[in-house]
Amino acid sequence: MAEYGFDTLAVHAGAQPDPATGARVTPIYQTSAYVFDDADQAASLFNLQVFGNIYSRIMNPTVAVFEERIAALENGTAGLATSSGHAAQAIVFQMLMDPGAEFIAARQLYGGSTNQFNQSFKKYDWHVKWADCTDPDSFKREVTDRTRALFCESIANPGGVISDLEGIARVAEEAGVPLVVDNTLATPYLLRPFEWGAHIVVHSATKFLGGHGNSLAGAIVEAGTFDWSKSGKYKLLSEPNPSYHGLIFHETFGDFAFCVGARSLALRDLGPCLAPMNAFLVLTGMETLPLRMRRHCDNALAVAQWLEADKRVERVNYAGLERHPQHKAQQKYCPKGAGSVFTFNLKGGYDAGVKLVNGVRIFSHLANIGDTRSLIIHPASTTHRQMSPEMLIKAGAGPDVVRLSIGIEDPKDLIADLDQAMG
């Protein structure tokens, strides 16, 4: 469906009327396993000689529609669904890393990702080195023979920083490693990382793709542009695999080898599959993604402009503002809008931030983003509380910082709510 526009793809990509019943909405295939036609067909499925359904930990018809839709929206060659955004990242690095290997990540990341990289990945002897998403040279300085990937968020959470994807992709190309981009905050509506040289995209579909705060989901999409065989560093894809009688994934599956390998090896063995019900809910949300993102961005700009003019506010970190130092980067990478997640600094510091989150009436104080409802949180005391004071500042989550995720309500009501809560 590549010839269709984005709004059409958001509704139709991957979906057809159900062949058994004629149902127009994708059914929830709530089943654990599938009947084989005969022994030969079963053998072909298990040998990856044909594609089809075996077991819902590996694939499911409802989930498959979601995978096809996100791949179409990102203009990738294939998609793979997971149980959460964190699971998507874990699966990606399971495919890329060996014990002792390194990857370079932007320090402007969601706090949970920072913890995953700093703490949990160490148990696998995978090591992260940190860089600045606005400075490609900071990535280049950290590249070694053990580097296996570069990682950044297209729009960073919580600070709304726009990554220099073109520059970071150039560093990845020179190093001969893939660039992995978390595109959760931008969504493919605002930015398609593959157009700037990225090789793999991950999403927490829990956020804007689903859009209603009712389900957890993650996604991986590949561009099909990386040569997994060239360097010999990615053995799961470039060497004969004993799980499939010596099959070489890159040689056999070409430009969608990463997703087939991730499904057949990492998802199969680690098991963080997406539930069919959650796939159904995210698919329903994706149908209105373009409409919601336009409203999210319009509302966020209105709130950011009001905050910028308020004397109780020290600084507003929203690239959509004309005076923001990253406004040119926003115009380059996200001309449709700067997203709806951003932070601002209160003059009253930590205490003022706590007062604000305790005083809101329309905004919901919770640890999520990308909802139709407007959300608020104080990162230093919640999502980023495990980080040191120095890391909090570097991540844009200092003690005076409040994060907003602007929903689709009337912007005048949102502004009035912040005004009364700030006192």
For residues 1 and 104, the model is more confident at 104
Q: What is the mean pLDDT of the chain?
A: 95
pLDDT tens string 318-332: 999 999 999 999 999
Write the pLDDT tens digit of every residue in 108-148.
999 889 999 999 999 999 999 999 999 999 999 999 999 99
Q: How far from 267 is each of 88, 282, 364, 414, 417, CA to CA, in Å?
A: 9, 20, 34, 41, 44
Rounded to an integer, the average pLDDT of 169-179 is: 98
Cβ atoms 66, 283 nearer than 8 A: yes
Confidence of residue 262 (pLDDT cuts 50, 70, 90): very high
Distance between CA atoms of 411 and 409, rounded to whole angstroms? 6
Share of the chain above pLDDT 90, in %: 90
Give the residue, 378 or 341, on which the prediction is more confident: 341
> Which pLDDT belongs to residue 183?
98
**Contact between 33 and 56 (Cβ < 8 Å):** yes
Domains of the chain by start residue, with CATH: 6-285 (3.40.640.10), 289-422 (3.90.1150.10)
Q: How far is CA 260 from the centre of its chain?
A: 19
Q: Is 2 a residue whose pLDDT tops 70?
A: no
Per-residue pLDDT, 126: 98
Residue 386, pLDDT > 80, answer no
- Work out the number of other CB atoms within 10 angstroms of the CB of residue 175: 21
Cβ count near 92 (within 10 Å)? 26
Continuous H helices in 268-359: 268-270, 276-286, 289-309, 327-333, 349-359
- Give CA–CA dist 193/324, Å, rounded: 22
| 358-365 average pLDDT score | 96
* pLDDT tens, residue by residue, 64-108: 999 999 999 999 999 999 999 999 999 999 999 999 999 999 999
Can you spell out the DSSP letters for 366-398? SS--S-SS-EEE-GGGTTTTTS-HHHHHHTT--
Average pLDDT in the 249-272 region? 97
pLDDT band at 48 (very low <50, low <70, confident <90, very high): very high
Quick: pLDDT tens for 186-212: 999 999 999 999 999 999 999 999 999
344-373: average pLDDT: 94
Indicate if the pLDDT at residue 395 is higher than 70: no
Give percent of the chain with pLDDT exceeding 70: 98
Q: What are phi and psi of 151, to 5 degrees?
A: -140, 135
Calculate the dihedral angle through the C-alpha atoms of 159, 160, 166, 168, rounding to the nearest 10 degrees: 20
